[in-house]
Structure formats: C-alpha cells, structure tokens
A and B are shown apart, each in its own frame.
Chain A
Amino acid sequence: MFKFIREKIGNKLMLTFIGIILIVMVIEMTFRIYFGVQDRLRIAEMGNKEVMDTIYATMKHPLTVGDSDTIHRDLEEIGQKYKNISVYLCDFNRDISFSTDKKVINKKIDQIISSKEFIDSLNESFKGNGDEYKSLVFNIQKRRNLISVIPIKNAPECFHCHGSSRKILGALVMKTDVEDVYKTVIDQRNRSLALTVFASLLAIFVTHIFVTKFIRKPLNTLVEATHRFAKGEMPVIEKYPPDEIGTLIKTFNYMVNEVAKSKMELEKELTRRARLLEERDELVALLQKANKQLKELDTLKSAFIANMSHELRTPMNAIIGYTDLLLDEVDGPLNEDQKASLKKVAANARHLLQLINDVLDISKIESGKIELRPKEVDLKGLIDSIMVTFEPLIAKKGLSFELNIDNGAEKLYVDEDKAKQILINLISNAVKFTHQGGITVKARISERGLDKQGNPQFVEISVADTGIGIKREDLDKIFDKFAQADVSTTRQYEGTGLGLSIVRGLVALHKGMVWAESEVGKGSTFYVLLPLKKEVFDNPGPVVEEKMAETLSQYFEVPKEVFLEEPSYEGKSVRCWDYTQCGHVNCPEYGSSEKRCWLVLGTHCKGMRIASWPEKVEACRICEVVRDLVLHREPLIIESKPSEKEKVVLAIDDNPDAIDLIRKYLEKDYKVIGLLSSEEAVKKAKEIKPVAITLDIMMPKKDGWQVLKELKEDKETRDIPVIIVSIIDNKTLAFSLGAADYFVKPLDGHSLLKKIKSIEIYKPVKKVFVLERDEKTSKDLTGILKETGYEVTVARDSSEAINIVKLHKPDLFIVNITDPESSAFNFLDFIKGSPELKEIPIIALTNKELTDEEKEALDGRIKEVINKALFSEEELISELKNSLKKIGG
C-alpha cells in the first residue's frame, strides 16, 4: 500500500488532493452540523418565544377571569396550527391544567416530560429564581424536543384566588419536537459526504489525467530513453514540456549529446588503437615467424655443426693417427728436422681437434640437446683422474698442486662426464696461465643455494692459481664464446676460447654458478657451485637462492619475498636463481655492452659473472621478470659522476629501454645519464649540470609537465634546454612551459642528436680569443673583457690567430670578419676543420651590414653578430656583454 504511494508521484499528488478535500469537508461538516443545529434551534427558539409570548398574552386575560373555555379553544387552535408543538399550562404542583393535548390534563407534567433536569429547572422557576424565559432541548421518547418555559407570575389581579404570598403560580411549558431540525442537518451532512466522495473521485480523476499528461508521460519517456541510453543507444527526446521536467529532459539530451560526442571520439580512438593493435599483431606475427625461422635455423645450425664435426673428425683421425705412427718411427727412422716438423703437425692437428670438440660441445649446450645423467660422484677420485693428465705439465713447469676437500664436500651429485669437463677446463686454464707458484683446488660446502630447511645443497669448488691474472674489465668477458681476455694472449697461450663458455653452460645445467676473481699479476680464482644432493634436480625450475634474494632485497630495498615469491613467466611459474641483470640501469657501466655488470653475493659491479642459463633456454630470461618486478616498484637512479671533460645529457624516462635508446643515439658525443624516477629530476639536474635534458611525459608519480615546470622555476636549472620525448603529442603545452623542442616517439635519434648539439648549454666562458686588426678596437675589447673577469688573448691576422689557438684553446672567439686584411674567413675555416675547436662559440664583429653571401658563409657557425658601425662605444660594450650572457659567459 505504502509502496504503491511511495513509488508514484501521481498517487502522492492524488493522496494530497484527497487529503485536502477530506480535511476541508470534515471541517465544513463539523461546522455545518454544529452551527446548523445551533442556528435552527435558535430560530425555533425565537419562534417558540414568539408563540409563547402570544399564548401568554392571549391567555393572561382568560386566566385572570377564569375563562377556561377560551384557553382550551385557543390551545386547540394552536395544536391544530402547529403539529409539532404541544403547550402545557401547569400550576406550581406541576399538575397540568390546560394543554393542546386534552388527554394530559390533570396529569403531572413529570409524566409527560420525564426529565429530571427539566423538573429541576421547573422547580427553580417556581421558586422565582432564574430567567423569565428558559428553553432547553431534552430527549423525550427518543426524540429531541425544545422545551420552553415561561413562569406565570403572580399578579394583583390573581391575589383573590391565590393570595399574594407566591410569586409564581405555575408555568407555561411549550414542547417543540425539533428532531426534524436535526434530521435536516443530518441530511445536509449526508449530502456533504456525497459531495466529498464525488470531489475526491473527481480529484483522483483529474489528478490522474494531469499526472499522466504532465508528469508520468514525460518521465516515462525519460526513463525509457535512459534505459536505451544505458544499453548503448543515443536517444534524444524531441518533445518536452517547458517546465522543470522539460529542463530535466533537456539536461538529459545534453548529456546524451556529450556522451555521444565523446563516444565518437572514443570510437575513433579505439579504431586507431585497434589498428595499432593489428599492426602490432602483424609485427608480432612477423617477429614470431622470424623467431621460428631463427629457431629452425638454430636447430639446423646445431645439426650442421654436429654433422660437420663428424665429417671433420674423420680426416683428423687419419692426420693424427698417421702422424703419430710416423713419429713412432713405425715406417723407419726420421731425422730430427722431420721429427720437429711432424711434431708441429701433430700439435696443430690436436689443437684443431680440440676446437672441433669444443664447438660441438657449445652447440650441444646451446641447442639444449644435453641431458644430464647425474649420480653420486667422488670428488677426489674425479680430480685425481683429471690430474693424471696434467701432472707431467705441472712437473715440467715446476708448479705446485694442492687439493683441499672439506668434510661433507667429498661427494657430488653431478653428471660425471660433465663435471669432469668443467674441472678439466678450469684446471687446464690454471696450468696454462701459471708460470710460477702453483694451483690450489679447494672444495667446501657452499652456504648458497640452501634448501627450504636451510640445508646445504651445493659444493663450492675453487681453482686458484698464481698466474698472470685477468684485468677487471675483462673478467666478465672471459665466459663469452671465443673470448680470451686479451687478444695478444691467444698467440701466447693456445686455446680455443670456448672452454669457459662450455663451463658456464654445463654449470648452468647443474643449476650451479660460476664466477671469477682476479688480480693482474697475482693470479685468478675460479669458483663453481655444483650440486651436492639429488634434490637439486627434483624441481625443473632453477634453484631459489635465499642468499641472493637477501642481497637483492638489501640492494633494491624491497622485501626479500619479492625475489622469493614465484613470478610467472610466459604462463609458467619460475624462480629466480641467478640475477644476471644486476645493475642493469644504475651501474656506472650501464649501457656499455662490454662491461655489463653482475651482482654476486652483494658485490655490485665486481665483474663477476653468474652462470646464467644457456641463451637458448627460455628460462634464461627469468631474471628479466625479477628485474621488472624490482624496477617497477622502486625506480632507480643511474648513479654516476660525469667526468670533467664529458658533456652530459640527462635522460628522464621511467622506461630503462627508452633511456638505453637515447643513450645509443647520443653516446658518440655525450655521456647520457638516465633517470628512472621523475621525482629526483631537479635534484639530479642540479647535481650533474647536464648540457641538455630529455624528458618523458607519461611517468608515474610525477608527470613530465610537472618536472618541466619545476626545472624552469628553479634558478639553477632553468637555463638547461629541455627536450620532450614522449608518446603523446602536445607541443603547445610543452612550448608554453618552456620546452626547447618536442619529439614524438618513436624517436628519430639523428634529429635528436642534431637538436641537442645546436641547443646545448655552453660551458661558462673564461678564456676569450680576439681576432681584430684595428688596435683601438682590440684594446677596448680587451679592457672591457678583462674588467668583466675574462682572460683575453689577441691576434691581428688569421695566421697568427691559428698559431695561438693551436696552443691555447679558448672558450670563445670574437672575430672581426669584415676586415679584409685579417682574412678572418681563413681563420673561421680553420676552426671549422678542427674537431677540437669547432664547437667553441663565435661572436662576429662587423663594420658594416653583412651581404647575403657573407651571411651564408657564416651560417651555423656564429652565435652572435655585432655590427660595430651601429653602436657607440658604450652600446658596443653592453651589446657585447649581452652576447656573452647569451652564450653562457
């Protein structure tokens, strides 16, 4: 019921109308009934009084003379005349003496009007109290009667019958039946009720029509339109009333139009994106295809190499075999020269064979064709079997050999052949590169790569020598294919350059690691971690390195769990065991492919290398996932101190790859320092004072606009030209905020380089070189410049000038180009041709307006042109100062 009302405006209105009608009608009826009755009674009363007075007056005389007949007749007449009136005349004993109703004569009036109240009031009247005339309504036999009483007073003319002691002799009582009066009012009430009902119905009807026409219909239209709108249509309501609902509909239409507009824009944008996506998909498909082809090629390559190796080994078999047979003098004695030559043949053949074997191994490792067959292996036995081969050479070189195996590290769980190969390679290197001292092989339980219960799972084997050592910057190259630390060593120390890459691959297959430490001239130590327990191979993924995680967590200041939680990679869950991308962005060597950095045991950029998965194994990219995890949480800053000499460009972008790209484009001419966190921009810019800044716009936390504003607001940084490099295109805003230029990604690197070269901030000018033939001018200039705090050197013609600048490189040239004697253009050409000098800014002094030809000749080389002819001396000075200011003096 209430719901029905609550939910419909029409019903609310109706209810209100009906309510109002009812209230009005009730009030009206109350008034009408109450006052209606009152009024009628008053009229009846007045009528009664008139009648009574008349009766009293007419009866006064007959009563006085005792003419009862006249009284009877008069009363009879009255009785006939007024049907609803009965008149009684009673004495003070309340006995009725006369009446319009003859039957009641001699009865007590109490019997006729049996109302105690009436009797009391009658008695009061007899006592002479109260009013002369009284009238009251009483119920008599369930009908309401108006009863009027006039006491009949004693008068002198009556004394003879009644004496004079009584005041009142009786009373004239008139009973008027007023039930009809009430009935009339009730009838009126009923009529009013009917009217009310009718009015209510009318109200309902009218309201309904009104509400339907003016409220419900437009609202329903709106509701329906809204529903359609919600379903994605764009309905506009054409017709609407000029009232508030109309306003609502107009607003709705406005909204629909706006949404439709933005929807259209959105759709455009979506189509654009869809197109981009399609293009991307096409590219991805192409890439995948290329990738597949590469993989196929790779497989082919591996197969080819395997095959080739076989084909190569067959002739090697013959070469080595027959050479050895000859050397054994099977076919007769040889002279010494022949022997020496044959030995060379044999040695080279063996070297070639080793090369073939190594290439084969590498290709097998890379193509993932190696399957380990791990079992328990006795380490001492393994090393002893290896040392058998090396002992003669060690003895020959006079080296010592020491083997220490800690308790618990005696047994490995490895593929015996592979482990042997690993150790052979390491020991043979140690022997090869050591000329005095010795080799120490140690094995101990490693605290790295512990299992979940904290039990060790790996043995750390170190091969230390006292050999020639490896340069710090070479340390991370030695594990690469065909890389011997120093090209010159290759001739001195024969080797294939594949040994350590094989070691790396094999160690990685064992889920271990390999790294090296070295000091040139003192020796090197190579470390490998090899499994101690079968459990290492239980899980197909890499081993979780708790210690590594701890290190990384300290390093990146993120919770350790980041590295321990299982990131997923290409739908497979992976665990990061080694972190080959350490310092990818914030290492001073970042960006130099030769000096990639690695993080081992918290040692940052030590050039140690972790055994990574062979490149062709998908899992080797695991660490990228972790890197992203880290970098995206905690943007890093590339910490590096630019050296005095280099010009620095600060590249601000939250994407390290974007920075990398900019670096690649600019690295020939600038040192690029990348900054991944926009919040540090101003601080960093002050610190490193770059000649220019490249700035990305869409960055988390603080966008590029904000950074640009801050850079331009700060006194120290506002002069650094800022070049926006962004995916969004809003040049207007950028230039209004003070950007020097705007490049939309994808970046055209060559244009960027050109731009930066043309706008970079020049370093402060200290040394000024002046080429001016006119002595007065050069004197003046020197004076001004020295006063302002510059060092000044002066030349009078170009040959003199060239000799001077060869020795003293100034920060600024001031050249008078219009004096033919000084042949300034020769000098300018010389500057242009010198890589050292061509970047130095030039202020040209002229004595006249330049011709177009001259201007063209100067194009791009001159920062400022000052026409001496146009200025007075003072003006010239201030003009020169201005120019210097512009250039950065």
Chain B
Amino acid sequence: MKTILVVDDNEDSRELVKKILKKQGYEIIEAVDGEDALAKAIAYRPDLILMDISIPKIDGYEVTKRLKSRIDFKDTPIIAFTAHAMRGDQEKALEAGCDGYISKPINVREFPEQIKIYLKEK
C-alpha cells in the first residue's frame, strides 16, 4: 500500500486526484497549503508527493526545495502538478528538485500510468 500526498489548494482538484488514485489502490493524504504540505510530508512520509505549485503560504517550489534539502526526502519523488503551462515552469520545477511534471488538466486515463512510472523509478 503506497501513500501519496496530494498538495492542492483547490478542493475539486484534490478530490479528482483522490478518486482516480484511490481506485488504483493508493492511500491518499491531502494538504491544502505549503505549511500543511511540509507538516504532512514530514509526519506521514509518503511514497510520492503530487505538488501543486501555486498554493498559499509557501509555494510549491519552496516546499519542494525544503523537503529535498533533507536527507530523508532525497529519494521521495515529488511531482510538480500545475495548471501553469508556461515555458520555464517545468524547468523551475526541476530546478527546485521536482522529479517530474504533470500539467493540469490531467488526462484521467493516462494519469495513473504516469504515477506508476514515477513510483517504479524510485
């Protein structure tokens, strides 16, 4: 049973991801902002983090940076997950230490596959 932390300030978005991934048999933890995300990541040690970039309090890049600077999160895949499709967002995310990038809107049929790949790669 793999645990996935879904960080997103938009409830519908969280619900959608939860619905899809629950069906795949993952355990889902939700966080609504940067601080929440940091706390929950450290508390629950998820196997993968889906990180929305534009979230309140601390943005997704910063959360990723802080987590990636810790030795115990070095190998936890953090996937940027954002509606920003601007050129440079992907790079920024990778620079911040994200292991992958999934842009919204997600493709319901491909999404579980993408998650699987990131988890396998770990």
Contacts and interface: CB of A to CB of B under 8 A. Distances in A.
A522 B105 CA distance: 38
Given A310-B54, A318-B12, A364 B106 contact: no
B33 to A, nearest CB: 15
B13 A317 contact: yes
Contact of A364 (B23, B54, B83, B86): B86
Interface in A307-336: 309-311, 313-322, 324-325, 328, 330
B85 A318 contact: no
B20 interface: yes
Nearest to B87: A370
Contacts of A314: 10, 13, 83, 104
Interface residues of A, number: 25
A857 B96 CA distance: 85
Contacts of B88: 371
B9 to A, nearest CB: 9
Contacts, number: 64
A295 interface: no
Contact of A328 (B85, B106, B108): B108
Contact of A313 (B83, B107, B108, B109): B83
A319 B20 CA distance: 14
Given A325-B16, A325-B19, A317 B83 contact: yes
Interface string A660-700: 00000000000000000000000000000000000000000
Nearest to A350: B105
B92 interface: no
Contact of B106 (A321, A360, A369): A321
Contacts of A319: 105
Contact of A306 (B13, B86, B106): B86
A317 B54 CA distance: 15
Contacts of A310: 54, 82-84
B85 A317 contact: no
Interface in B43-84: 54, 82-84
Contact of B16 (A318, A353, A370): A318
Contact of B105 (A306, A311, A321): A321
Contacts of B104: 313-314, 316-317
A879 to B, nearest CB: 82
Contacts of A309: 83, 85
Contacts of B107: 324
A330 B108 CA distance: 11
Nearest to B53: A310
B105 A360 contact: no
A324 B82 CA distance: 19
Nearest to A372: B87
A425 interface: no
Contacts of B108: 320-321, 324-325, 328
Interface residues of B, number: 21
Contacts of A353: 105
Contacts of A717: none
A360 B85 contact: yes
Contact of A357 (B13, B85, B87): B85
B16 A322 contact: yes
Q: Which of A306, A317, A370 gathers the greatest number of chain B CB atoms within 10 Å?
A: A317
A317 B23 CA distance: 18
Given A318-B13, A322-B16, A313 B105 contact: yes
B87 A321 contact: no
A371 B87 contact: yes
A887 to B, nearest CB: 69
Contacts of A357: 85
A364 B84 CA distance: 13
B106 A317 contact: yes
Contacts of A324: 107-109
Could you say which of A322, A353, A357 has the most chain B C-beta atoms within 10 Å of its C-beta? A322
Interface string A333-377: 000000000000000000001000100100010000111000000
Contacts of A370: 87
A328 B112 CA distance: 14
A756 to B, nearest CB: 54
Contacts of B109: 324, 328
Contacts of A360: 85-86
Contacts of B12: 315, 317-318, 322
B96 to A, nearest CB: 18
A370 B86 CA distance: 9
Contacts of B83: 309-311, 313-314, 317
A371 B88 CA distance: 9
B79 to A, nearest CB: 15
Interface in B7-32: 10, 12-13, 16, 19-20, 23
Contacts of B20: 321, 325
B85 A313 contact: yes
Nearest to B91: A373
A786 B44 CA distance: 110
A360 B19 CA distance: 29
Contacts of A317: 12-13, 16, 83, 104-106
B10 A364 contact: no
Nearest to B16: A321
B105 A316 contact: yes
A306 B105 CA distance: 15
Contacts of A320: 105, 108
Contacts of A313: 83, 85, 104-105
Nearest to A370: B87
Contacts of B84: 306, 310
Interface in A491-547: none
A9 B104 CA distance: 102
A317 B52 CA distance: 13
Interface string A279-311: 000000000000000000000000000100111
Given A321-B108, A322-B16, A330 B86 contact: no
Given A310-B84, A313-B85, A330 B105 contact: no
A707 B11 CA distance: 78
B54 A330 contact: no
Contacts of B16: 317-318, 321-322, 325
A364 B23 CA distance: 38
Taking each of B23, B54, B108, which has the highest tally of chain A beta carbons within 10 Å of its own beta carbon? Answer: B108
B101 to A, nearest CB: 13
Contacts of A371: 87-88
A371 B23 CA distance: 40
B99 to A, nearest CB: 20
B85 A330 contact: no
A563 to B, nearest CB: 34
B37 to A, nearest CB: 18
A86 B15 CA distance: 171
Chain B CB within 10 Å, residue with most, of A325, A357, A360:
A325
A342 to B, nearest CB: 12
Interface string B96-119: 000000001111110000000000
Nearest to B108: A324
A369 B85 contact: no
A317 to B, nearest CB: 4
B61 to A, nearest CB: 15
B112 to A, nearest CB: 11
A174 B35 CA distance: 161
29 contacts: A306-B86, A310-B54, A310-B84, A311-B83, A313-B85, A314-B10, A314-B83, A316-B104, A317-B13, A317-B83, A317-B105, A318-B10, A318-B16, A318-B105, A321-B16, A321-B20, A321-B105, A321-B106, A324-B108, A325-B16, A325-B19, A325-B108, A330-B19, A357-B85, A360-B86, A369-B87, A370-B87, A371-B87, A371-B88
Instruction: State the 10 A-B residue pairs at the shortest beta-carbon distance, nearest first.
Output: A317-B105, A313-B83, A324-B108, A318-B12, A317-B104, A321-B16, A320-B105, A310-B83, A316-B105, A314-B83
Given A310-B82, A321-B108, A330-B19, 12 more contacts: A306-B84, A313-B105, A314-B13, A316-B105, A317-B104, A318-B10, A318-B105, A320-B108, A321-B105, A322-B12, A328-B109, A353-B105
